[in-house]
Structure 1
Amino acid sequence: MDTKSLMVDIATKLFQQKGYKGAGLNEILKACNITKGALYHHFPNGKEELLIACLQSLNEAITTDIESIFRQHSSTLEAMHATIEKLIMILETEGTIAGYTFSSIVSEMASLSEPVRNACGALYEKIQDIYRNKLIEDGFSIESAASVSLFMTASIEGAMLLCLTQKSADPLKTISKLLPNVLMP
């Protein structure tokens, strides 16, 4: 793995664990085993530019995973159940689902940095696009699919946060049980 990719990988984990402000620049440098000069070589605008690169990397990883799951299932309901089951499995085996949620970064940085807000927004939009496209395939109108995809994104993101605070998969299980009521065109 090249230095830039390594920095993004390590910094992503630190930002997810500690938030943007909690992950200090020196801590990132030490964890990556790089100098400040190396950081600024790859990210001339510093820590915020690194965060945006991390969010873009998360965007690619999360949406690639969701797209893969959605291609394997014929209906939105089946795909959503499979997605939620995967999240539950990750939570139960790893004790966290940090790789799938970045809400702490959104809440911490969205009002302070327009580029970070835009990077976070792009990820949510991509997830909603995946859901919306599958809903349209299932017979939903474009308008209805847009509303339901927003609802599903917000529900799952909220459920993931509740899972982390409750140290339980129950919120995701509840969402999974309620999906048939939501996914009727």
Structure 2
Amino acid sequence: MDTKSLMIEKATLLFQQKGYKSVGVSEILKACDVTKGALYHHFPNGKEELLIACLKSLKEAITIDMEDIFKRHSSTQEATQFMINKLIRNLETEGKLTGYTFSSIVSEMATVSEPVRQACNSLYENIQTIYYTKLVTEGFSNEAASDVALLMTTSIEGAIMLCQTQQSTAPLKTISKLLPTILKG
């Protein structure tokens, strides 16, 4: 793995686990075993530029994973249940949620930095588009699919935040239980 990819991978995990503001440049350098010069060589504008690269990387990884899940399952309900169960297993086995979650970054940075806000918005739009597309193929009208996709995105992201604060999988399990009602169309 090249140095730039390594920095993006390690910084993404640190930002997801601790939040952007709680992770210092020195912690990133130590985790990557690189010099400050290497960081600024790849990210001339520093930590915020690295964060945007992390968000773009997350967008790509989340999109690929979700599109794969939604292609393998015949309905939005089955795909979403699979995805939520994957998150629950991750929390139960590793004691933390990584992967789909970037909520802590949004809550910290979206109002502070326009480029970060745009990167976060793009990621959320991608997630909603995946839901929307599947819902339309299941017969939802464009308007209903758009509304349900927004509801699913906010419900799952909110449940992820609650799981982190409560250190419990209960919020995701509740969303998983209620989704069939929402997805009846």
Fold conserved between structures, TM > 0.5: yes
Matched letter for residue 36 of structure 2: K
Q: Aligned pair 1:28/2:38, yes or no?
A: no
Matched letter for residue 37 of structure 2: G
CA distance in 1, matches of 2:16, 2:88: 18
Deviation at 1:98, TM superposition (A): 2.3
CA distance in 1, matches of 2:98, 2:81: 19
| TM-score normalised by length of structure 2 | 0.97
Deviation at 1:133, TM superposition (A): 0.2
Aligned to 1:137: 137
CA distance in 1, matches of 2:107, 2:119: 13
Aligned to 2:42: 42
Q: After superposition, where does 1:24-173 map in structure 2 within 5 Å?
A: 24-173=24-173
Equivalences, count? 185
CA distance in 2, matches of 1:138, 1:162: 30
Point out the more displaced range, 112-121 or 13-22.
13-22
Unaligned runs of 5+ in 1: none
Q: What secondary structure sits across from 1:100 in the alignment?
A: coil
* % identical aligned pairs: 69
CA deviations on 1:67-126 (whole Å, 9 max, x unpaired) are 111001111111111111111111111111122211111111111100000111111000
Q: Aligned pair 1:182/2:170, yes or no?
A: no
Deviation at 1:164, TM superposition (A): 1.5
Aligned to 1:9: 9
CA distance in 2, matches of 1:168, 1:30: 31
Point out the more displaced range, 25-34 or 67-76.
25-34
